Structure 1
Amino acid sequence: MENLQLKDKNVFITGAASGIGKATALLFAREGAHISFIHYHDRENAETTENEIKALGRKVLCFDGDINDVEFCENAVEKTVSEFGGIDILINNAGTQFPSESITELEEEEVRKTFNSNIIGMILLTKAVFPYLKQGSSIINTTSAVAYLGHEQLVDYSATKGAIVSFTRSLALQAKSKGIRVNAVAPGPVATPLTEKTFGDEEEDYSKPPLERNASTDEIATCFLFLATDASVQMTGQVLHPNGGSIVNG
């Protein structure tokens, strides 16, 4: 008999068409979870993710839309609850970034997109999901090592990741009485389509972590699994740091 860590749990995750989100969705599905996920106009990759989850024998729902659209969030959440019977785990993973050599070169539109995608949409979606969570449920947010270390080319992005840390800690306090745990994962450099698109073939170098290489998305996904299971039952308001050994004091 399989000893599945998330047997029949219902997971709602953003940004799961590729990268860390996809690796996490597939790992959770392998551990017995049903997956509902949001992507932003990435249909081809989303279909691949959807088919891979189906091949594992799990239920899957896929939504294309913007998490800054409150009506879209509410409809996606309501359909997930209707199809799955509830939501046990929310993973806020969607994000974007636009590097800039100088703050004077930052484009206002890109700054607003970064905040909307990375933190404002996260709050709006969590608001939509929260009424359906219950004792034992878990929320896991994706922040970044740059929230602690900074990044000279990602000033606005780093600011949003710092905001996610504060959001995680504050919501954990609010959710404690309901028995809902709220934690975050702060990866260091990871080989993802987003970082490849942003930095090309360059090493995404946060001053080179001790392991001297980017993490794989599968290596980061295991942190989300830990935070979603009873193995982390004593953890809330905390941040895990799979960053290759950089000391961030966070």
Structure 2
Amino acid sequence: METCGAAGVDLSNDERTHDMTKTLFITGASSGIGAATARTAVSRGWSVGLFARSEDKLTALAEELGDAALPLVGDATSLEEQRAAVGKTVDRFGGLNAAFANAGTGLSAAGTEKGDPDEWEALVHLNVLGFLWTAKAAMPALKSSKGHLLLTGSAAGRRHIKGSVYGASKWFVHGYGGNLAEEMREWGGRCTVIAPGMVDTPFFDEAKPDKLKPEDIADAAMFALEADPRACVQEVFVMPTG
């Protein structure tokens, strides 16, 4: 049976699917939490813009996911590159319903005395400014769709860890996420901080087989994204049981 549009025009199956598809832009999409979220989102009918620096990994992931995925090579520390990537995502899929500021980095040396100032600077550019750039780049399109912004926080962003500069960067994410939720609420948008404990991802030099998997965090992200529009899930903590 054919279905008619508002003007009484018959819509093909492809056109109806396109109209119903939501679009998610993900930074740090080439591996770990970003890649797992892309896979989960596509399995639930979303289209995804995949943004990261690793062209080879992005291309492989996009080929795996098919027409629902757009690979976008770029650096999350660049506002202009994020703006360009968001624009390409909107052009390809017709709009933007959500953005996931997920790209982040850690440090090789912990604490203040032993810490490396050059590493600190790189961390701030990605873990702080990179998140600001995602919000800034995506906000016009999200405002148009009354969309959703996700931020990857951390359990480390809600407790004090001796001398942890990384943890402090995640405190910023949690504080900023709450402030964004208040700002976006004014026009019907939502903001969620996803706060994992230790996750077995390439973030660590050694495997963590007894800890969380990226798919666990992807499920949490989709829970927030697919909550009823009346509900804003502002923070989701996911901790390993092991």
Compute the TM-score of the two structures, normalised by the length of structure 1: 0.83
1:65 corresponds to 2:74: yes
Residue aligning to 1:144? 154
| Cα distance in 2 between the residues matched to 1:48 and 1:217 | 18
Residue aligning to 1:191? 200
Gaps of 5+ in 1: 205-212
Moved more, 125-134 or 178-187: 125-134
Tell me: CA distance 1:149–1:228, structure 2 relative to 1, closer, same or farther (3 Å). Answer: same
Please state how far the C-alpha of 1:232 moved relative to its aligned partner: 6.8
Contact 1:145–1:187 (8 Å) recurs in 2: yes
Contact 2:111–2:165 (8 Å) recurs in 1: no
| Cα distance in 2 between the residues matched to 1:185 and 1:232 | 18
Q: Which letter maps to 1:19? A: G
Please state how far the C-alpha of 1:174 moved relative to its aligned partner: 0.7
Q: Which has the larger radius of gyration?
A: 2
Q: 1:20 aligns with which of 17, 27, 33?
A: 33
2:100 alignment partner, SS class? strand
Q: 1:78 aligns with which of 87, 97, 101?
A: 87
Contact 1:141–1:164 (8 Å) recurs in 2: yes
Percentage of identical aligned residues: 26
Deviations 1:76-115 (A, max 9, x none): 1111111111100111100000132431121111101111
The ranges of structure 1 where at least 4 consecutive aligned residues each deviate by more than 4 angstroms after the TM superposition are none
Q: Which letter maps to 1:32? A: G
Tell me: CA distance 1:165–1:120, structure 2 relative to 1, closer, same or farther (3 Å). Answer: same
1:120 corresponds to 2:116: no
Contact 1:7–1:33 (8 Å) recurs in 2: no
Alignment RMSD (CA, Å): 2.2
Moved more, 183-192 or 69-78: 69-78
Tell me: CA distance 1:7–1:222, structure 2 relative to 1, closer, same or farther (3 Å). Answer: farther
Q: Which letter maps to 1:94? A: A
Q: 1:216 aligns with which of 213, 217, 226?
A: 213
Tell me: CA distance 1:102–1:128, structure 2 relative to 1, closer, same or farther (3 Å). Answer: closer
Q: 1:33 aligns with which of 38, 43, 46?
A: 46
1:11 alignment partner, SS class? strand
Please state how far the C-alpha of 1:7 moved relative to its aligned partner: 5.0
Q: 2:174 aligns with which of 154, 160, 165?
A: 165
Number of aligned residue pairs: 224
